[in-house]
């Protein structure tokens, strides 16, 4: 969400449009990640990350969804976070190249943490603390599939949402520059 603040402070069309889009995609991606972690808590009854490892061996459907949501969290191309982040970086580079470089380094560290979290939860040695394993129930699959559809829809067809957001951003850029 720090990128959203930076996008707003650029006060240009790319930054504002990217910030608006990033707020929508962040709400979607965060909901998907929290839902995924909530499923793990519901199944295994613990919130401690030290108990989770090798989930991919026992929950392949869940692991696939969690992998895609983690990619979206890193703003991987084709997912919901990418168009907004690209526009915010374009707006930052119009405004201040040095700040853009610093923020890019921070984004890289965020991606490294997401990869660490992903590998920590999905792979590794089987945890002896967890005795029951199961994959997703049909109702859980439907919710995750819907969230996957939205994550890819926002990432592959951003122009549908940009058409809605652009008039508001034009209005704000005109008000700011008056």
Instruction: Show the CA angle centred on residue 29, arms to residues 38 and 33, nearest 5°.
Output: 20
* Token pair 């890819």 in the structure block, residue: 152
Whole-number Å distance between alpha carbons of 126 and 40: 15
Helix (H, G, I), strand (E, B) or coil at 111: helix
* Alpha helices, H only, the chain: 2-9, 13-44, 55-58, 60-73, 81-95, 97-122, 138-156, 159-176
pLDDT the model gives residue 115: 93
Whole-number Å distance between alpha carbons of 177 and 10: 12
Could you tell me the two tokens for 71?
A: 């990619």
Whole-number Å distance between alpha carbons of 76 and 109: 14
Which DSSP state fits 49? G
User: Where exactly are the structural domains of the chain?
Assistant: 2-176
pLDDT the model gives residue 130: 65
What residues in the chain have per-residue pLDDT under 70?
127-132, 177-178
pLDDT the model gives residue 171: 81
Q: What are phi and psi of 40, to 5 degrees?
A: -60, -40
Work out whether the CA dihedral 168, 169, 175, 178 comes out positive or negative. negative
Whole-number Å distance between alpha carbons of 169 and 162: 10
- Hey, how many other C-beta atoms are within 10 angstroms of the C-beta on 170? 13
């Amino acid at each position: 969400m720090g990128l959203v603040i930076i996008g707003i402070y650029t006060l240009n069309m790319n930054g504002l449009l990217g910030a608006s889009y990033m707020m929508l995609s962040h709400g979607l991606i965060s909901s998907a990640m929290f839902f995924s972690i909530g499923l793990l808590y519901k199944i295994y009854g613990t919130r401690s990350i030290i108990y989770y490892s090798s989930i991919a061996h026992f929950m392949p459907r869940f692991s696939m969804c969690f992998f895609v949501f983690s990619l979206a969290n890193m703003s991987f191309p084709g997912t919901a976070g990418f168009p907004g982040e690209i526009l915010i970086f374009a707006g930052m580079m119009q405004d201040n190249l040095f700040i853009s470089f610093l923020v890019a380094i921070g984004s890289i560290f965020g991606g490294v943490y997401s990869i660490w979290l992903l590998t920590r939860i999905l792979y590794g040695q089987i945890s002896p603390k967890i005795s029951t394993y199961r994959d997703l129930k049909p109702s859980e699959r439907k919710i995750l599939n819907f969230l996957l559809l939205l994550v890819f829809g926002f990432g592959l067809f951003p122009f549908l949402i940009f058409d809605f957001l652009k008039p508001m951003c034009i209005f704000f850029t005109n008000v700011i520059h008056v």
